[in-house]
Amino acid sequence: MTERVYVPLTSTTLRALVADGRLDGPLRAHAVTDALRAEWSDGDEDGWEYAALMAAAGTSATLRADGDAPRRYVLAADVPSVVPVPGDDPTLVDVAADVPWKNVASAHVDTTDDAADDDDLAWFATQEIRHLLD
């Protein structure tokens, strides 16, 4: 069994994923956790997944450094297991394993520079991810 995680990236880390075919663990990500389900008990799976995705998008914006594109990048991937991180964000998890390319499900990216924090991200299939760097 695997867990779906949403990994916040920058254009630089996305470029490294494409070049290396993997993200090296351990890493921090966002996921649907028991804490999120308890905090939002009237939610459903789609809503919880969206909450985890948007939490990762928010984290992505804080990771930008000089030379990174001013967009939010989130990688959806499947990992063997996660460990919830205690604190204010019920979606935050630690992932011990590497994330190989074959476990990547999709990318979610802003379509314009400096998008608003509450703007939805566009979905990109794995075969489109390389083209996000053009």
Question: In the chain, how many domains are there?
Answer: 1
Task: Report yes or no: 98 and 23 within 8 Å, Cβ to Cβ.
Answer: yes
Average pLDDT over all residues of the chain? 96
High-pLDDT (> 70) share of the chain, %:
100
| E strand intervals along 10-127 | 22-23, 27-30, 73-79, 83-84, 92-95, 99-100, 104-109, 122-125
- Place 1 in a pLDDT band, splitting at 50, 70 and 90: confident
Q: Look at residue 75 and give its three-state secondary structure.
A: strand
CATH number of the domain where residue 97 is located: 3.20.170
Residue 26 has pLDDT above 90, yes or no: yes
Q: What is the per-residue pLDDT for 134? A: 75
Question: Taking the model in full, what pTM does it have?
Answer: 0.96
> Once rounded to an integer, what is the mean pLDDT over residues 22-37?
97
Residue 106, CB half-sphere, CA atoms under 13 Å: how many?
9
